[in-house]
Amino acid sequence: MSTSIGQNNFENQLEDMVRSFVQEKLETVMKEEMNQFFEENPELKNYKNGSYGRQLDTKYGRIEDLQVPRDRDNAFQTEMFQPYQRYEQWLGETIVTMYHKGMSTREIGNFLEHILGHAYAPGTISNITDVVIEDIRAWQERPLQKRYA
């Protein structure tokens, strides 16, 4: 089955719409988190200080300019992701699982490029797996049963 140029364009538009919807909802949730944070901590004499842009890789693709709210004293931190996190948890788990299965870092990078639309360098993938290297070593050195079903 071949896809026409029109269908490809439609799929790209649909993907862009989903990413913009996800971005809008993430930004709304983070703003509400910040408002709630200041309501729960009235003793903080802190002021909102706009937002900063960052990118975040989600299962819906890369969000290029996600606006994360901030305050002057940097007391607020969103629960959506860690301060320097650039990808959702599922991505790290997926990389580790593929690494466990014996895929090379370059193969993993090619797979992620196909899924997310951009490539991760083999070094980046290696850094992600280094975070859980002890778990990987324990899995590789686990005692094997005599017989598998």
Q: Domain ends where: 27, 53, 81?
A: 81
In this structure, the answer to whether residues 5 and 75 fall within a common structural domain is yes
Q: Give the span between the Cα atoms of 31 and 25, in whole angstroms.
A: 10
Q: Are 69 and 76 within 8 A, CB to CB?
A: yes
One digit per residue, the tens of pLDDT, for the chain of length 149 reads 455 556 678 877 888 888 889 899 899 999 998 888 888 888 887 788 889 999 888 878 788 899 999 988 888 888 888 777 777 777 777 887 888 788 888 888 888 887 777 777 888 888 777 766 776 677 778 887 777 55
Last residue of one domain, picked from the residues 66, 81, 96: 81
Same domain, 53 and 100: no
- Provide the pLDDT for residue 1: 47
Domain range for 66 is 1-81
pLDDT confidence of residue 139: 74
For the chain, the domain total comes to 2
| Dihedral angle of Cα 8, 54, 90, 118, to the nearest 10 degrees | 40
6 in the same domain as 74? yes
**Cα–Cα distance between 91 and 115 in angstroms, integer?**
11
- If asked whether residues 101 and 42 sit together in one domain, one would say no
pTM flag (> 0.75): no
Residues 6 or more apart whose CB falls under 8 angstroms from that of 56 comprise 26, 62, 63, 66, 81, 85, 86, 87, 88
